[in-house]
Amino acid sequence: MATEIERKFLVRDDRWQAAVTSRERLRQGYLANAERCSIRVRVSGDRAMLSIKSANPGLTRTEFEYPLPPADAARMLDELCLRPLIEKTRHIVEHAGQRWEVDVFDGDNAGLVLAEIELGDESEPFERPAWLGTEVSDDHRYYNANLVEHPYRSWPAREGS
């Protein structure tokens, strides 16, 4: 995938849990988090990926992903990545024929729950589930790359609550 079009929202309540079709535990870290792009390592089960993602604001960003040997990825996470690592459980939720990813964060970002939907076009319509809260697509604080440098637990008054 060379382009990602994604909208991101806070989650209002737990009603999404009734529609979960699958879940996976993710552990990810950033090898670099620069002005123009971030370079991320992600491990989920026996799969691992290296991702390079543009840091521009907005709904559409450039993203390249490449498979990694899981043992190499684990070592990168342990030895090379910025701290803290991003730890979360990703829940796949189907709503109105579309796939949502609901991320429940752990570790230094515990308490944060975000929902994302990937679209084919910025103007693609979608039905908002009742459990969806405020849109934060343009708020860089909610980017995973930012949560490494500014973990949710350190936010004043926990703005995302």
Which residues is 62 bridged to in the sheet? 3
User: Residue 96, Cβ neighbours under 10 Å: how many?
Assistant: 9
**Which structure tokens are listed for 73?**
């990825």
Q: How far apart are CA 130 and CA 146, in angstroms?
A: 27
- Identity of the amino acid at 124: E
Catalytic residue among 30, 142, 143, 152: 30
Which residues is 90 bridged to in the sheet? 24, 103
Based on the residue annotation, tell me whether 152 is a catalytic residue of this protein.
no
Which active-site residues does the annotation give?
30
